[in-house]
A and B are shown apart, each in its own frame.
Chain A
Amino acid sequence: MSRALAELGEFTRLVGEAIVSLRRQRPTWSEWIHQLYLIGVKSQSVVITTGAATGMVLCAQTFIQFHKVKMDTATGAVVSVGMCSELGPTLAALMLTARVGASMAAELGTMKVTEQVDALRTLATHPVDYLVVPRFLASLLAAPLLTAEAVLVGILASWLVGVHLLGIDSAYYLANMNKHTDPQDVIVGLIKATYFGGMIAMISCFKGLNCVGGAEGVGRATTEAVVACSITVLVSNFFLTLLLNAIFSH
């Protein structure tokens, strides 16, 4: 328990240091763009695949249940609202955790155990300025963009399955989808995605920078980063849903 509290304190210090860095230091744009490429561009295939698969299975499952009560044309609305506000941001964040979070923790962990982080410090460079902030900013921007992409692909895939495979009338499918999907659903999803993106970067960097030992330590840091990010995404999603619904319902 005391170890967990100490770790939480250290994590809060890292977040505080990142805020100080954002306020005082000029961002390293070249590093930021490099990270944006690694996190955003390189994650597209996995996020698109996840979005499409989720949209298709959600459409099929919803259709099977709704067909029993003759509500076939409401399938599009369920898929759209579900993808925009819940499944899109959550699944994209879990995919980012697996692909980007693990990579960040392993890279920074390796730098830590091979004294590259100490070398940075002797070269008058704060590790948070050079390593954490560019990853945090890139993740903050990439996560909502990737989520929007996953949601769009998911909805398109669900339309293809619903209309061309399951025989739902396209006009009704789209009309119900438009009628029941509010801009609020999209905004809630994007806010969640931004939060998840920031948390994934910070947690992964924290685990990497606090890595101890050799190869075993790097492996442990990577595993801990993936577990901590996944749990953070899933648990905070519940509270964010309540909070954002409370905010937008007023």
Chain B
Amino acid sequence: MEVADVHKRFGPQPVLRGTSFLIQAGEAVVIIGRSGGGKSILLKHLVGLLLPDSGQVRVFEQDLATMGERELLKVRRRFGMLFQMAALFDSLTVYENVGFVLRRERKHTEGEIRRLVAEALEMVDLPGIEHKMPSELSGGMRKRVGLARAIVYRPEIILYDEPTTGLDPIAASVIDALIRRVWRHLHVTSIAVTHDMKSARAISDRVLMLHEGCIYAQGSTAELLESTDPIISDFVNGVDNELAPDKTP
């Protein structure tokens, strides 16, 4: 996957200003950056949910920016995505949510779909909840069902949009462990955006830092976490220079 000089603005507000990076197949990458800094916007560009104003997003040797919505559907079949709030379909049961793509494709019998859904739910440690409605699930369970829905059809790339946001520390650790497990067992490319440094440590081998619409820094997780660059270290350590004690009058 290659992102080359991508620009995106919403009205007068530029969000991405020449973002470029490369991700190899099989990597586990995390994109970090401040809230409202355009991380989720960038992630949506990677799967063609948003198209850049200029620049290229090349995935599987194809430039998503030049493709129509129906062509993009074929590319997206090779992606799985876990949304920030899971985005489960309210009117469908867990079984119907997780088996959604399989049932739409009509390539499997209902028995096979039932087995694959059960396997996916097993992988996220939620066996036997096929009959439940999304409204009956907690926030952490919804994310795990969202993850099951993203992996059930064996995608090659899985995108995670703020996977631990809104969860308590234990539920967040469970999600981090599941993301790592999915990456290892399914041999997928894993790309997550987060501002949660604990999560970034747990689920990535490489970190990209998005700052003011550009990739400001990239490197192994350890390198970035130990960086002395003030912008990186302030973000990693959660320091706001505007409110730092030594700067307050």
**Which residues of A approach B to under 8 Å, CB–CB?**
20, 28, 110-111, 114-116, 118-119, 121-126, 130
Q: Looking at the complex, which one of B83, B100, B149 makes contact with A118 (CB distance below 8 Å)?
A: B83
Binds A, one of B85-93, B196-204, B207-215, B236-244: B85-93
CB distance from A196 to the nearest CB of B (A): 26
List residues of chain A with CB within 8 A of the CB of B104.
28, 123-125, 130
Q: Which residues of B contact A124 (CB under 8 A)?
A: 73-74, 76-77, 101, 104
Contact of B87 among A20, A118, A126, A130 (CB under 8 A): A118
List residues of chain B with CB under 8 Å of any chain A CB. Answer: 44, 47, 49, 69-70, 72-74, 76-77, 79-81, 83-85, 87-90, 100-101, 104, 149
> B70, B79, B84, B101: which contacts A115 (Cβ < 8 A)?
B84
A116 to B74, CA, bound (A): 19
How many A-B contacts at CB < 8 Å in the complex? 55
B87 touches A119 (CB 8 A): yes
Q: Please classify the interface of chain B as helix (H, G, I), strand (E, B), loop, or mixed, using the class held by over half of its residues.
A: mixed
Say yes or no: A121-B89 contact (C-beta < 8 A), given A126-B69, A126-B70: no
Give, as a whole number of angstroms, the nearest-CB distance from A55 to chain B: 36
Task: Tell me the bound Cα distance from A137 to B89 in angstroms.
Answer: 22
Query: How many Å lie between the Cα of A110 and that of B77 in the bound state?
Result: 24
Q: How far apart are B59's CB and chain A's nearest CB, in angstroms? A: 13
Q: How far is the CA of A244 from the CA of B126 in the complex (A)?
A: 60
Measured CB to CB, the closest approach of chain A to B154, in angstroms, equals 13
B49 to A123, Cβ gap below 8 A? no
Question: B89, A119: Cβ atoms under 8 Å?
Answer: yes
